[in-house]
Homo-oligomer: A and B are copies of this chain.
Amino acid sequence: MTVQELPGAAAYRPTPPPAWRPRTDPTPLLPDPEPFRVLGTGAELDRALMLKLYAELVRGRRFNAQATALTKQGRLAVYPSSTGQEACEVAAALALEERDWLFPSYRDTLAAVARGLDPVQALTLLRGDWHTGYDPREHRIAPLCTPLATQLPHAVGLAHAARLKGDDVVALALVGDGGTSEGDFHEALNFAAVWQAPVVFLVQNNGFAISVPLAKQTAAPSLAHKAVGYGMPGRLVDGNDAPAVHQVLSEAVGRARRGGGPTLVEAVTYRMEAHTNADDATRYRGSAEVDAWREHDPIRLLEGELTARGLIDEDGIRAAAEAAETMAAALREQMNAEPTLNPMDLFAEVYTAQSGQLREQADQLRAELEAEAR
């Protein structure tokens, strides 16, 4: 049986009315009206997982702070911080198996780092010394993607290819609320549903696309409601509740792995910092809104619950903070080292083999560099 012949694919054939009916019942596809939450609900918690999540959140917050500081020191060209969104970033990384693929947007350095990617490699793009700083195949992390939503069809294609090959690999693709307006979002979700590709789409709805608030981006009940239009389930989750995001993503990844097809997950969260270090958020939002979200901080939420339940103590909290400090110090040091760049690399990988034309241009640059060096 080929993928194209699997149920859900080509079998359906519409009949003339009045017998005609929608292909499937939409009800199971609709998200619950309340975002799924774990913290504060009394649900059972897996201690090891919670501590792991907590440690990663703390590390992630510190990573964001350090990276932003590095922009001020000129060590990074730009940094789009995920402060406030660490629960999504970390849960995305932890919900995947090693053989799975992550398709991050430009804001998701942290997800890549939480997946185990070397921070310097992860920051290469934003540092400005090369575009993608790592081998995507080695880490199964696609390049951090700047053109919005364009990596979503890549995730679908990769997941589809894996399935055709018989590999039980899942792709998880990240996109922002703004990115859902792009045509590529639509086309990716549609292909995924038609092909029943093992892919999970996580929309981090952080309330803004640079300065544009969600209300000017969409009139939908929620972004998760878009799922029904593709025939895939939509799920809503509190994006600042790390165990909740982890659980929803794990379920979706598991379903995809078992051949159940794609899922659209909307995580409701908030971008606490400006869009990037170059942005001035005071131009488009007031501090009252930011303050309200600060009350719903992902670290604070998890730490509070773990403490209340006695799953972590002061020592544990201190240990996490210290580990984060160590990471930050190492990162500072590594990023302070002047990167060694070879301008001749400009011509190295434009094509498999260098054309005569590029060789001429490389010779020109080489001559210029030699003249300069003299």
Chain A residues close to B by CB (< 8 Å): 8-18, 20-26, 29-31, 33-35, 37, 40, 181-187, 190, 193-194, 196, 205, 207, 213-222, 225-232, 236, 238, 240-241, 268, 270, 289, 292-293, 295-296
Contacts and interface: CB of A to CB of B under 8 A. Distances in A.
Given A18-B238, A20-B35, A35-B17, A8 B289 contact: no
B218 A268 contact: no
B17 A216 contact: no
7 contacts: A12-B215, A13-B215, A18-B238, A23-B219, A194-B218, A219-B231, A228-B229
A35 to B, nearest CB: 5
Nearest to A293: B16
B190 A218 contact: yes
Given A14-B205, A194-B219, A225-B229, 12 more contacts: A13-B289, A17-B34, A17-B240, A22-B221, A22-B236, A23-B219, A26-B225, A181-B186, A218-B230, A219-B232, A227-B229, A228-B229
Given A221-B29, A222-B23, A238-B18, A13 B213 contact: yes
B17 A241 contact: yes
Nearest to A149: B183
Copies of chain A in the complex: 2
A221 B20 CA distance: 12
Contacts of A182: 183, 187
Nearest to A194: B219
A296 B11 CA distance: 22
B194 A187 contact: no
A153 B99 CA distance: 41
Contacts of A241: 17
Nearest to A29: B221
B14 A37 contact: no
A195 B181 CA distance: 14
B215 A9 contact: yes
B220 A231 contact: yes
A304 to B, nearest CB: 14
A221 B23 contact: yes
B222 A22 contact: yes
A250 to B, nearest CB: 19
Give the residue among A37, A184, A219 with the most B Cβ atoms within 10 A: A219
B220 A193 contact: yes
A218 B10 CA distance: 10
Nearest to A227: B229
Contacts of A296: 16-17
Nearest to A219: B231
B12 A214 contact: yes
A29 B218 CA distance: 15
Nearest to A9: B215
Contacts of A220: 23, 193, 228-231
Contacts of A29: 221
Given A34-B21, A181-B190, A16 B221 contact: no
